[in-house]
Amino acid sequence: MRILVCVKRVPAPGARINLTADAQAIDTAHLGFTTSPHEECAVEAAVQLVEGHGGEATVLTLGPVEAEEQLRYAVSVGMTAAVLLPIDGADWDPQRTAAAITEVVRRLEAADGPFDLILFGNESADAGNFQVGIRVAHALGRPMVNGAKGIAISEGAVHVRREADAGQETYELPLPAAVGVKEGINLPRYPTMKGRLASKRVEVERMEPDAETGGLRMVRLQRPAERASTTVILGRGPDAAPAVVDLLDELGVLA
Amino acid sequence: MTILVVVEHDRGVLADASREALTAGRHLATTTATPLDALTIGAAADAMVAELGRFGVSTVHQAHHDVLADYGPEAWGAVVAAAVEQLSASVVVAAGTDRGNEVMAWAAARLDVPFAANCTVTTPGEEDEKMAVTRVRWGGSLLEEATLTGAVRLLTMAHHAVDAAPAEEPGRATAVSMTVELDDSVSHSIVRGRVERVAGVTLATAPVVVGGGRGVGSADGFAPLEELAGLLGGVVGCSRAVTNNGWRNHTDQVGQTGTRIAPTVYLACGISGAIQHWVGAMAAKNIVAINIDPEANMVSKAGYAVIGDLHAVVPAIATEIRRRRGT
Ligand SMILES: Cc1cc2nc3c(=O)[nH]c(=O)nc-3n(C[C@H](O)[C@H](O)[C@H](O)COP(=O)(O)OP(=O)(O)OC[C@H]3O[C@@H](n4cnc5c(N)ncnc54)[C@H](O)[C@@H]3O)c2cc1C
Ligand SMILES: Nc1ncnc2c1ncn2[C@@H]1O[C@H](COP(=O)(O)O)[C@@H](O)[C@H]1O
């Protein structure tokens, strides 16, 4: 099997998100970076499929050159190849991102053969545009469903399970196909010693992205209004129990 | 020209989130003096026509096709795209649900037009093909002001961003049937099977959630939290640190990439209150933080707090409840 996973580098803010003075970005001066959680699970899913069915799994990102960190991490947990589409400065809009990824997928497939499966996250953690994967799948003429909480390959099809309001739904997409993955589908592994070495050695292939700007343009970021709160300290240690139970009673959840 | 609202329903019962989308669509239609149309996909659509009229819809387009008997993202996206072309819609609004976002992304891809997911505010622009939106990022931790430019603009409304309200002067909607041509490929992603959810209290609907974080320390450490939740008719939730450690299943995770909870009381035990956890918990009506660190973000954001070791505090609360109940 040949699998491609598209991931995005995002900051990992803790208690609070601070913005730059011009409100164009998150102030990342004191922040680490990570891969969007849904995409970490997409990477794990790809590694498991390759373990089960053989083949190779490529990780791809469009982002700043620093995003090599996230590509190498993906290799350290079992991906076999990495592709960087380097961009300067601000994020690309979703139409432009999708067009650039589509064009690079075509180039990769022309060189090495088609990907049986392309995996995305359900949505990116930072932008949450809910569309890049679907746009790529459509442009390549492949079926796709989002929100996968289960994935299995058999007889030329990918079987997808997902949660809906009323219960679980299952889908069966003929390969080649694309799937958007949600966190919870698996528990991503940690890198092994061998994986770490592989991630240092892997050659990250750089491919210049090229695509036109789309119709969604960010003007500025804003922090939502925070709920003002003064905390009532009910007590310290186990002695606070009666005060907690009084409160639960008052709020009507004790009966 | 028209403003089109794509309606989500369960066998003819309009989804709450769609009422909000209808309200947002009507505001846009009123300010731009454009008629408001609705699109329903699949069977049982007649049941909704009267209510759609009350929300200000003038024409309801009912799409029927064999392929549309069950949900399929590509098929539904293709129907929305076809409707946009047949009706010359300028703006299309849907609910920012899993399905709403997925269907609109497919429609946008087909039409090659922009799509803004999870908007909280939409304002018609001064220029014809340009509108201003505010949309949710980071699962609600940040907002983005953006412009949406194109002859057709697609957007979804974030749930709870506007209050659903029928039109001041309720109208009467006319239902017309819409025929769409669908190519075979769209049937590749139709629901094949379904398992109904078993009824019962869920994390999303529970009146009490007892949440545990890294401070709980182990999978076994959750037993007292389970017990307390049981006494209160609630359920146990957790942070991502807990799921990443394999202590609990991801179905228990509260937050941006987990479940949004809205209980009467959330007892957050040993959880620091990272912004990605907070967005999943902030709709709780009351929060009691139990934490050894008085400076923890969860403590300063909560209405109530107990400073102390959860391993001592949680069992003490359970004991006190049993004492008062005489059990
Ligand atoms: C894109 C993205 C999405 C994310 N989505 C989610 C999400 O959906 N849900 C989520 O939860 N997180 C999410 N996270 C992770 C989040 O940033 C935090 O890492 C996580 O919430 C921390 O979990 P925690 O509070 O349990 O652990 P910590 O931050 O380590 O906090 C542990 C707390 O326990 C207290 N404590 C320790 N021992 C005790 C004791 N004995 N008694 C009482 N208190 C004690 C400590 O004082 C501390 O406050 C996401 C992160 C990213 C980057
Ligand atoms: N810059 C990017 N590089 C690689 N993949 C991306 C990028 N942006 C988005 N994606 C993929 O598309 C999915 C949906 O993103 P979005 O439309 O931003 O919510 C993500 O989960 C990723 O898998």
The 3-state secondary structure of B79-110, one letter per residue: HHHHHHHHHCEEEEEEECCHHHHHHHHHHHHH
In angstroms and rounded to an integer, the radius of gyration of the C-alpha atoms of chain B is 23
Show the tokens assigned to B18: 């769609």
User: How far is Cα B71 from Cα B106, in angstroms, rounded to an integer?
Assistant: 13
User: How far is Cα B84 from Cα B111, in angstroms, rounded to an integer?
Assistant: 9
Which letter, b or e, does each residue of A121-145 get, where b requires 16 or more Cβ atoms within 10 Å of its Cβ?
bbbbbbbbbbbbbbbbbbbbebbbb
Closest CA to A2 of A79, A55, A77, A75: A55
User: How far is Cα B2 from Cα B20, in angstroms, rounded to an integer?
Assistant: 18
Look at residue B183 and tell me whether its pLDDT is greater than 90.
Answer: no
Q: What pLDDT is attached to residue A245?
A: 98
User: What mean pLDDT do residues B12-39 have?
Assistant: 95
User: How far is Cα A67 from Cα A10, in angstroms, rounded to an integer?
Assistant: 9
In angstroms and rounded to an integer, the radius of gyration of the C-alpha atoms of chain A is 22
Q: What pLDDT is attached to residue B187?
A: 83
Cα(B214) to ligand 1 centroid in Å equals 6
* Mean pLDDT taken over chain B: 95
Residue A53 sits in which domain range?
A: 2-206
The answer to the question of residue A37 being in a domain is yes
**Per-residue pLDDT tens digits for A198-219:** 999 999 999 999 999 999 999 9
**Per-residue pLDDT tens digits for A153-166:** 998 999 999 998 77
The answer to the question of residue A109 being in a domain is yes
For B139, left (φ over 0), alpha (ψ -120 to 50), or beta?
left
Could you say which ligand is closest to the alpha carbon of residue B108?
Answer: 2
Helix axes B223-231, B310-325, angle to 10 degrees: 30
Look at residue B198 and tell me whether its pLDDT is greater than 90.
Answer: no
The count of domains in chain A is: 1
Strand pairing of B130-137 and A232-236?
Answer: unpaired
The response to whether residue B253 sits with its C-beta less than 6 Å from ligand 1 reads: yes
**Per-residue pLDDT tens digits for A168-198:** 999 999 999 999 999 999 999 999 999 999 9
The answer to the question of residue A251 being in a domain is no
The answer to the question of residue A244 being in a domain is no
Q: Are A31 and A10 in contact (CB under 8 A)?
A: no
Contact A253 B118 (CB under 8 A): no
Nearest CA in chain B to A159: B192
The answer to the question of residue A119 being in a domain is yes
Contact B106 A173 (CB under 8 A): no
Look at residue B212 and tell me whether its pLDDT is greater than 80.
Answer: yes
Probe ligand 1: pick from B136, B209, B240, max atoms within 8 Å of CB?
B240
The answer to the question of residue A220 being in a domain is no
User: What mean pLDDT do residues B216-234 have?
Assistant: 98
User: How far is Cα A67 from Cα A86, in angstroms, rounded to an integer?
Assistant: 8
| A111 close contact with B: CB closer than 8 A | no
The answer to the question of residue A241 being in a domain is no
**Mutation target vs A (from B14, B80, B115, B205; most A CBs, 10 A cutoff):** B115
B178-192, B269-283, B294-308, range with the lowest pLDDT = B178-192
- φ/ψ of A94, rounded to 5, equals -65, -40
Please name the residues between 11 and 70 in chain B that touch chain A, using a CB distance below 8 Å: none
Show the tokens assigned to B101: 């976002």
* Sequence-distant contacts of A149-156: CB under 8 A, at least 24 apart: A149/A182, A149/A184, A149/A185, A150/A185, A151/A45, A151/A49, A151/A179, A151/A181, A151/A185, A153/A1, A153/A49, A153/A52, A153/A53, A153/A116, A153/A117
Closest CA to A33 of A79, A75, A65, A58: A65
Helix (H) or strand (E) holding B324: helix B310-325
Nearest CA in chain A to B288: A244
Q: What is the DSSP letter of B253?
A: B
Q: What pLDDT is attached to residue B113?
A: 98
Please name the residues between 46 and 85 in chain A that touch chain B, using a CB distance below 8 Å: none
How many other β-carbons are positioned within 10 Å of the β-carbon of residue B264?
17
Residue with CA closest to ligand 2 atom 1: A62
Contact B10 A167 (CB under 8 A): no
Cα(A96) to ligand 2 centroid in Å equals 11
Q: What is the DSSP letter of B162?
A: S
Cα(A161) to ligand 2 centroid in Å equals 21
Separation in Å, CA A199 to CA A80, A189, A202, B160: 9, 15, 5, 44
Q: How far apart are the first and last CA of chain A?
A: 57
Separation in Å, CA B205 to CA B224, B233, B265: 21, 12, 12
* ipTM (interface predicted TM): 0.97
Closest CA to B264 of B231, B289, B287, B233: B287
At residue B188 the predicted structure's pLDDT band, cuts being 50, 70 and 90, is: confident
Name residue B151's amino acid.
A
Instruction: List the domains of chain B with CATH numbers.
Output: 2-187 (3.40.50.620), 208-325 (3.40.50.1220)
Q: Residue B9, CB half-sphere, CA atoms under 13 Å: how many?
A: 25
Q: What pLDDT is attached to residue A65?
A: 98
**Per-residue pLDDT tens digits for A229-255:** 799 999 999 999 999 999 999 999 997
Look at residue B126 and tell me whether its pLDDT is greater than 80.
Answer: no
User: How far is Cα A192 from Cα A201, in angstroms, rounded to an integer?
Assistant: 14
**Mutation target vs A (from B9, B14, B101, B253; most A CBs, 10 A cutoff):** B101
At residue B10 the predicted structure's pLDDT band, cuts being 50, 70 and 90, is: confident
The answer to the question of residue A243 being in a domain is no
Cα distance from A34 to chain B (closest Cα, Å)? 14
At residue A39 the predicted structure's pLDDT band, cuts being 50, 70 and 90, is: very high
User: How far is Cα A234 from Cα B286, in angstroms, rounded to an integer?
Assistant: 13
Domain CATH code at residue A141: 3.40.50.620
Q: What pLDDT is attached to residue B44?
A: 80
Cα(B298) to ligand 1 centroid in Å equals 10
Show the tokens assigned to B123: 């304002």
At residue B194 the predicted structure's pLDDT band, cuts being 50, 70 and 90, is: confident
**Per-residue pLDDT tens digits for B39-72:** 999 888 899 999 999 999 999 999 988 888 889 9
Look at residue B200 and tell me whether its pLDDT is greater than 90.
Answer: no
A56-65, A199-208, B40-49, B294-303, range with the lowest pLDDT = B40-49
Write out residues with Cβ below 6 Å of ligand 2.
A 6-8, 36, 38-39, 61-63, 94, 97, 120-121, 123-124, 127-133
Q: Are A127 and A217 in contact (CB under 8 A)?
A: no
| A156 close contact with B: CB closer than 8 A | no
Cα(A223) to ligand 2 centroid in Å equals 23
